[in-house]
Chains A and B, each alone.
Chain A
Amino acid sequence: MDASGASEILERLRDVLRDSAVEERDWDAVAPETTIESLGFDSLTILDVLYDVEEEFGVALEPKQVVKTRTVGEIVGLLEQYGA
């Protein structure tokens, strides 16, 4: 996928994170290199996010692949692999 496709996925992902998150933060500042952990998600709250991401992009992510992702950019890459 080209850069504009990845950029669009990132934008939609930001919206999902904004809606799913418990904490307030500057979601527009979230960049591909931003780590998931730094966004304040833990082992419980991340589950809400993953459900909403799958619904938003119409994909069923493989948990074994999800746990390998550490940054927002890696999630974008994973969504690209799933054809989002």
Chain B
Amino acid sequence: MLHFLEYWAARLALLSVDLLPPAAASRWAGWLGCLWWTADWPRRRVAISNVLRAGVAEDEAEARAIGRAAARHMGMVLVESMKSALILDDPERVRARIPEDVQAMLVDPTQGLIVVSGHFGNWELAGQWLSRYKPVAGISRPMNNPRVERLAQSRRPRRGFRMIPKYDPDPGRFLKLLGDGEVLALLVDQHSHRGADVPFFGHPAKTHTTAAMLHLVARAPLTFAVCRRTAPMTFELTLTPLIEQPRTGDRSADVEAILRTLNAHLEEAIRRDPDQYLWGHRRWRS
């Protein structure tokens, strides 16, 4: 029943977004985000606790303000992702800063590339923007509500960007994509019960190891992406120079070294714009 209600709520929200001009739709979605912040008190409590634990707010009042602004931001992210063609087709809307070594990987059709990010800014827009160079496969966990998941998939602009499931029964799936010269896009800031314990804002957090292992095993180049909103429907996409971790023979140590670097890049982005991060996820569970 809950899934049914969620589905129709999502459909109504999409209908209203379709009927409004983009700027108004973005404001409307931001308002819906604030409404969600007010209504979902368990998630709100998690978000405030996370902001305080990360040390990006001095006190609870500031943490509450950041959490509310972040909820508004997430509402806007949904609209921007659905109307991404308007942003991607306008060169003034995305200012990209791509180092030369990463650019060389993007323009080489034979070269696979691992692009890592977190639930910061508009991460999905980053993937869609990069698909102008080569196909991009975003690894994701399907939503808990299959109806909403199908709806979201049907509304995602296609271009060269597609989502693929995190757990694939074909063991060679990710290796094959990289071997075919595609971009594999991953997010590393969700709790992973079988992940590695790596500090995130100084506290141990179970972190997905896939990006690190792919870099070590496929020897595919690795970069971290940040796509921050600088104005309504306008973004700055920054990729780091290639991250390289030589293999030492100690798998756990190699993985941890890479994940520490990735987390450090994400922390840097969050400290700069804490109101563009998804704080409602239970990141620290120990």
Contact = CB atoms under 8 A, between A and B. Distances in A.
Interface residues of B, number: 25
Contact of A66 (B170, B172, B214, B247): B172
B167 A42 contact: yes
A1 interface: no
Interface in A25-84: 36-37, 41-48, 50-52, 54-55, 60, 63-64, 66-67
18 contacts: A37-B170, A42-B167, A43-B167, A43-B170, A43-B173, A44-B167, A46-B171, A47-B210, A47-B217, A51-B216, A51-B217, A51-B247, A51-B251, A52-B251, A55-B251, A63-B218, A63-B219, A66-B175
Interface in B190-223: 194, 209-210, 213-214, 216-219
Interface of A: 22, 36-37, 41-48, 50-52, 54-55, 60, 63-64, 66-67
A50 B213 CA distance: 9
Contacts of B249: 55
Contacts of B213: 44, 47-48, 51
B175 A67 contact: yes
B166 A46 contact: no
A55 B249 CA distance: 6
A43 B251 contact: no
B129 interface: no
Contact of B172 (A22, A46, A55): A46
B177 to A, nearest CB: 10
B178 interface: yes
A63 B194 contact: no
Nearest to A22: B194
Contacts of B21: none
Contacts of A50: 217
Given A63-B179, A67-B176, A43 B217 contact: no
6 closest Cβ contacts across the A-B interface?
A67-B172, A47-B213, A46-B171, A43-B168, A43-B173, A63-B175
Interface hub of B178, B218, B219 (most chain A Cβ within 10 A)? B218
B221 to A, nearest CB: 13
B98 to A, nearest CB: 25
B246 interface: no
Contact of A63 (B217, B247, B251): B217
Interface centre among A41, A42, A43, A60 (most CB of B within 10 A): A43
